[in-house]
Structure 1
């Protein structure tokens, strides 16, 4: 890879707009698969060579010289290769020595589309708030966007209806006290999901430059953005794992992904992840809450205190340090705090607890 990197540096240096060329190179590098030779384990090979060298040094007399070539020759014979091949494999895992094994092809126009989208994604890393407006649309479409935002664990509020259109307000990374870079990357990765839709506009408030001056980014579906987004790849791992593990339980409850949208009194929306059903009459909805801000959990509990006529479970990551006691026993809502995964047995116990007085 050293030869390739050097050639790319020469290409960038020869162009007047060096930063733009560097952006294209970054996108192309991201499409490359780079690694060591498949038959080679450089770390194990180095350990073997160093071990043999140590043994030979200890066996030498005080005036006897150490011959590095003898160690290389002996190891090469063990691995049925030439000393030159062994030398090339010793440090094959270092960045400069790695091999370009393959690259996903891309046309020039597609590369230009990716570049334009990446520019907008980079700007979102400096945002404090992002507001999205959607023209009147179907419930299926809005569920897809909500699913994509949840997949990226974004903090958002959504209001509106299928008849009047929707407004989505997302917290930007520059509004957080910690994990701003991680959250910003997730926000940037959400943008292709939005761009894949029609009838949208986005306005982002920014803190720009070293002085963090206020600025605004305004883009829409009329700006020619093209998305590589696939709609079949946006579900939280916690949800897919829970569906799989719960379906294996021998219990009277069934589980499926929820398609229902709850319209709340303040015109905001609540879209659960899953719905559990028993005897075709008992129903409990679950939302997985893996966000960056624990205050959002308290806001959700307050919202669900409205009379929605249903029962709910909020599954909350223990990283948010939320107590299950924030949900009152006399209210049809339970908090389930989970670690790396949502326990199917814990959900079953909560389901029975919620409906025990029905």
Structure 2
């Protein structure tokens, strides 16, 4: 972004038009690039830029343009000349006895302080200021790219004063929506036609610099999608604020790569995912299950919790206001999809009150989420499962669940008796086989031999027939009556 005082735009009625640079400004950049040379101080560059500002400064807009381009070009400079001693300490030593009234006094103080601190006091006394630093590397891209990046910065600066921003794209809207979420921005997405409304910094009671910076980071992702459009409500004025409309779309003179490594910190979601999987065993947790359309609005949950036929979506909310949360909860209620917002107490503005959300501060507590999932599970009626036995003498409940494509836990909730079968803990065994086994005498035999001969189910049959298992050691056991 640029400093707010460098924002260039024109207003006609209720519409604001950013003063983007173009082909003509490419020539201006070409004139400025020779200012930036290795070996000169940044202060010398500033002097040249001030001269250029006066040349183009017949209007305030012209001076702002030069200064804005200078800010963009400066991003591609490497400055060196850091003082080995804190420059504030050097200045404190030099001026401790008041002003030096003669050249001789000045030279004496510089020499004494230099010797005492072991540093060139005159060279480094203002070493903490960019003007005193020396340009050690220049890697300026082509002038056309500088102009495009300037326009991107100008658009970001104006959007910092937005109340609402509406995004449309002909490109990958799902990835764009994921980026909105990763930045923690407040949003509402619509399915027909697909568009994303992002709340601007001026939605908050007090505009947040961090929120505005995250919105600025989003902009290059938007213009990189193809067939894009940005519409915004812009708030201008200090004492008397007024809302203006702005629309920018498919401008080939806006460019710039997204900032790498600046997305919203996802370690909260990452930690929760692994902590949940490590502590909760009866629910399965999936990441990024895909978009969910509820009442014409698109939600992008972060997780899907699954148990049997129950599916509960979990969405981690970044920044929020009380109004935004209430609206989100209202839209989710009364639908078949179960979506639970997980809300950071530290990124909000307003009160959560009695809203049905899960809150957290630094980390999401998996046991807190689990309690809510259990409450949902207990409130839902158990699904009825119809199944039949295939006539085999021994039928495993686990294999029966696999045959019908359901979880073993759900099948166990629906277990029932069948004529001609005895229901044990993990098996159905035919009465015919049970009668045959009841006539045999297993007393005194080794358990391992009987299991090898009959199968694993025999241990439950023996228990049903009244036999006991006597363990001789950790590996050997004997059947007793």
TM-score normalised by structure 1 residue count: 0.72
CA distance in 2, matches of 1:128, 1:160: 22
For 1:204, what is the secondary structure of its paired residue? strand
Judged with a 3 Å threshold, the aligned counterparts in structure 2 of structure 1 residues 214 and 322 are, in CA distance, closer, same or farther, namely closer
Partner of 2:358: 335
Q: Which residue among 260, 268, 272 is the counterpart of 2:290?
A: 260
Q: Mapping of 1:64-75 within 5 angstroms?
A: 68=109, 69-75=111-117
Judged with a 3 Å threshold, the aligned counterparts in structure 2 of structure 1 residues 256 and 324 are, in CA distance, closer, same or farther, namely farther
For 1:14, what is the secondary structure of its paired residue? helix
Q: Tell which deviates more after alignment, 301-310 or 280-289.
A: 280-289
Q: Which residue among 189, 198, 216 is the counterpart of 2:226?
A: 198
Query: Could you list the runs of 4 or more consecutive aligned residues of structure 1 that deviate by over 6 angstroms after TM superposition?
Result: none
Q: Deviations over 1:58-99 (max 9, x none)?
A: xxxxxxxxx6334432432xxxxxx6x354234422343234
Q: Which residue among 326, 349, 359 is the counterpart of 1:320?
A: 349
Judged with a 3 Å threshold, the aligned counterparts in structure 2 of structure 1 residues 183 and 247 are, in CA distance, closer, same or farther, namely closer
CA distance in 2, matches of 1:272, 1:204: 26
Highest Rg: 1 or 2?
2
For 1:199, what is the secondary structure of its paired residue? coil
Shift of 1:236: 2.3
Q: Which residue among 226, 240, 246 is the counterpart of 1:217?
A: 246
Shift of 1:185: 4.2
CA distance in 2, matches of 1:180, 1:10: 36
Shift of 1:216: 2.7
Judged with a 3 Å threshold, the aligned counterparts in structure 2 of structure 1 residues 34 and 160 are, in CA distance, closer, same or farther, namely same
**Mapped contact 2:151–2:255 kept (Cα < 8 A):** no
Q: Mapping of 1:27-42 within 5 angstroms?
A: 27-34=72-79, 36-37=81-82, 40-42=84-86
Partner of 2:71: 26
Judged with a 3 Å threshold, the aligned counterparts in structure 2 of structure 1 residues 41 and 104 are, in CA distance, closer, same or farther, namely farther
Q: Mapping of 1:346-357 within 5 angstroms?
A: 346-355=365-374, 357=377
RMSD of Structure 2 on Structure 1 (CA): 3.6
**Mapped contact 2:90–2:121 kept (Cα < 8 A):** no
Q: Deviations over 1:222-249 (max 9, x none)?
A: x324433449757421x33431464267
Q: Mapping of 1:116-265 within 5 angstroms?
A: 116-135=151-170, 141-161=172-192, 165-179=193-207, 183-208=211-236, 214-221=243-250, 223-230=251-258, 233=261, 235-237=263-265, 239-244=266-271, 246-247=273-274, 250-251=278-279, 252=281, 257-265=287-295
Partner of 1:5: 46
TM-score normalised by structure 2 residue count: 0.56
For 2:173, what is the secondary structure of its paired residue? helix
CA distance in 2, matches of 1:254, 1:227: 43
CA distance in 1, matches of 2:145, 2:337: 49
CA distance in 2, matches of 1:31, 1:44: 27
Shift of 1:350: 1.8
Q: How many residues align?
A: 315
CA distance in 2, matches of 1:91, 1:204: 43
Residue ranges of structure 2 left out of the alignment (5+ in a row): 1-41, 98-107, 379-481
